[in-house]
Amino acid sequence: MPTENDRDDYIKRMCDDQRNAYLKRSSAHFLECAVHLCVTHMSIEEAAALLEQHAALLREHG
């Protein structure tokens, strides 16, 4: 039979999982908005090059 601590731990893990999923979705949405803003003021090729530079930095120093 689950104890109160087990139930509390389960609820905490569930809340943490949902918060992390929300933050991940929000971050991806923010990035999409930023990309759309970039291509409003620069060419798609320029925006892609900028994103590739940042991706390379993330991979190198991530």
What pLDDT shows up at residue 11?
95
State the pTM of this model: 0.75
> Is 80 exceeded by the pLDDT of residue 1?
no
For 6-22, the pLDDT digits (tens) are: 899 999 999 999 999 99
The pLDDT value recorded for residue 4 is 84
Residues 40 and 32: beta-carbon distance below 8 Å: no
Rounded CA-CA distance 60/43 in Å is: 26
What is the predicted pLDDT for the residue at 62? 84
Q: pLDDT per residue over 21-61, tens digit each?
A: 999 999 999 999 999 999 999 999 999 999 999 999 999 99
